[in-house]
A and B are shown apart, each in its own frame.
Chain A
């Protein structure tokens, strides 16, 4: 079945550092890929998405590129802020209408 693997956290960075959170997936066909973010005490929010190979999703300075050849969707941000501290979830949705499969989440802490 479909699955998502993320780098383990927690990830601790200083403000303005470069962020990469790795995500790889296993799925048949051409799934859609997503990053969700969960801020402390809040529900999950969609951060960005990509629906086909080579698409780049971007939002709030975050980017991720759908790489079918490496089955990856790594999340990057050039300069993190303290307000980016949250848990980040990589997820996929199969292209046969299957429901979402989420990765385990990566906790990011950004120190001032």
Chain B
């Protein structure tokens, strides 16, 4: 079974530029997550999709971050314009479902390391 795919693996940009990350979840996984992991910290959830609908985006800085999951499969996360503090690893994860009290294991991709200069 193929895992969660992410691209690119590394990206270096200058502040005020824009950048986009792509995620392809495991086939059949309805729920997709984007996390931000700053160096030395644990992952922080940015946004959760159930199919193509947003379930939770309470910690997404909506003035500069946006995400979409067209057709309920692949997803893109965009930052525009980037700031120095956006330097982090952006992790994508997927699970079968994540509703109410039910738990299904999240499978993580390798992440995209973003450096903003």
Contacts and interface: CB of A to CB of B under 8 A. Distances in A.
B partners with A: yes
Contacts of A102: 42-44
Contact of B4 (A43, A91, A105): A43
Contacts of A44: 43, 91, 93, 108
Interface of B: 3-4, 33, 40-45, 48, 56, 91, 93, 98-101, 103, 105-111
A89 B103 contact: no
Nearest to B55: A99
A46 interface: yes
A101 B41 CA distance: 11
A97 B99 contact: yes
Interface residues of A, number: 22
Nearest to B42: A102
Contacts of B107: 43
A46 B3 CA distance: 14
B41 to A, nearest CB: 5
Contacts of B100: 97
Contact of B56 (A89, A99, A105): A99
Given A51-B103, A97-B101, A99-B48, A91 B109 contact: no
A54 B103 CA distance: 19
Contact of A46 (B33, B40, B56, B105): B105
B91 A43 contact: yes
A72 to B, nearest CB: 17
Given A97-B99, A103-B42, 11 more contacts: A4-B42, A43-B91, A43-B109, A44-B91, A44-B93, A44-B108, A96-B101, A99-B48, A99-B98, A101-B42, A104-B41
A38 B109 CA distance: 11
A20 to B, nearest CB: 19
Interface centre among B4, B91, B108 (most CB of A within 10 A): B108
Q: Sort A-B residue pairs by CB-CB distance and give the 9 closest, nearest first.
A: A102-B42, A43-B108, A44-B108, A43-B110, A97-B100, A99-B45, A102-B43, A104-B42, A103-B42
